[in-house]
């Protein structure tokens, strides 16, 4: 496409210098839009992933649920977000919590197309108490307490290879719950892993966080549109 013939806006009061710079940025934003779709196409074209070896048992509002029971009839994709709130920590991860605050409002839309679950290692009553405190009414919360789902699909650090632990600068003997998003797909009765947010486990760019779930996170996308940018802002569980 010839960007020189594109018709651009003129914002009231802007200078010619501003418009020239904004048009140059617009060309880059268009290129980024194409790149985002190119990456999404590569993701959709991934070959079949590993078969899920066991039908994990989760604890939810409706009692114990198998992984296979999280798939609604006619809906063959399931996204599971593991958030950092194990039984040994006093408070949930602030990063996970702000993300789930936003996801709460999207559940009714997401679940028109795919299945969704949000899991953590704390027992279910503790998760439900957090939901009440945060006014989460629609998030499909499940407890992985007593199963190995988070270990197997890297929602915690216990099964990370030693090379990854070293690369990510984990301290010896240190174990963490991790904010991992995994997507599964069902074909017939076979459930396979489709994709995981593995950017969480590769070194970040200098001066950045991992940005593994940024495509889903309205907070960071909004701040990226401002002159201040993200800066050193970190979400909190509450603000004055």
Q: Output the 3-class SS for the chain.
A: CCHHHCCCCCCCCCCHHHHHHHHHHHHHHHHHHHHHHHHHHHHHCCCCCCECCCCCEEEECCEEEEHHHHCCCCCCEEEEEECCCCCCCCCCCHHHHHHHHHHHCCHHHHCCCCEEEEEECCCHHHHHHHHHHHCCCCCCEEECCCCCHHHHCCCECCCCCHHHHHHCCCCCCCCCECCCEEEEEEECCEEEEEEECHHHHCCCCCCCCCCCCHHHCHHHHHHCCCCCCCCCCCCCCCCC
Fold of 57-201: Glutaredoxin (3.40.30)
pLDDT band at residue 210 using 50, 70 and 90 as cut-offs = confident
Of residues 212 and 4, which shows the higher confidence score? 212
Residue 5 has pLDDT above 80, yes or no: no
Q: Where do the structural domains in the chain lie, given as residue ranges? A: 1-45, 57-201
Mean pLDDT across the chain: 93
pTM, full prediction: 0.92
pLDDT band at residue 208 using 50, 70 and 90 as cut-offs = confident
pLDDT digits (tens, 9 = 90+) for 112-152: 999 999 999 999 999 999 999 999 999 999 999 999 999 99
């Amino acid at each position: 496409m010839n960007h020189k013939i594109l018709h651009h806006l003129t914002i009231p009061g802007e200078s010619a210098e501003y418009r020239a710079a904004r048009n140059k940025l617009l060309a880059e934003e268009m290129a980024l839009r194409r790149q985002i779709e190119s990456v999404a196409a590569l993701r959709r074209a991934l070959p079949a992933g590993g078969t899920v070896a066991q039908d994990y048992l989760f604890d939810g509002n409706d009692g114990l649920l198998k992984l296979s029971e999280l798939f609604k009839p006619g809906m063959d994709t399931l996204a599971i977000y593991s958030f950092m709130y194990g039984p040994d920590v006093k408070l949930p991860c602030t990063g996970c919590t702000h993300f789930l605050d936003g996801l709460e409002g999207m559940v009714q839309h997401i679940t028109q197309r795919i299945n969704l679950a949000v899991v953590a290692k704390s027992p279910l009553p503790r998760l439900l108490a957090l939901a009440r405190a945060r006014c989460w009414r629609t998030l499909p919360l499940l407890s992985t307490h007593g199963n190995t789902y988070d270990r197997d699909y890297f929602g915690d650090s216990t099964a990370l290879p030693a090379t990854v632990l070293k690369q990510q600068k984990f301290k010896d003997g240190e174990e963490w719950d991790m904010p991992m998003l995994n997507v599964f797909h069902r074909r017939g009765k076979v459930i396979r892993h489709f994709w995981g947010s593995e950017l969480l486990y590769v070194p970040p760019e200098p001066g950045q966080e991992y940005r593994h779930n940024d495509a889903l996170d309205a907070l960071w996308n909004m701040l990226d549109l401002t002159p201040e940018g993200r800066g050193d802002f970190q979400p909190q569980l509450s603000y004055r």
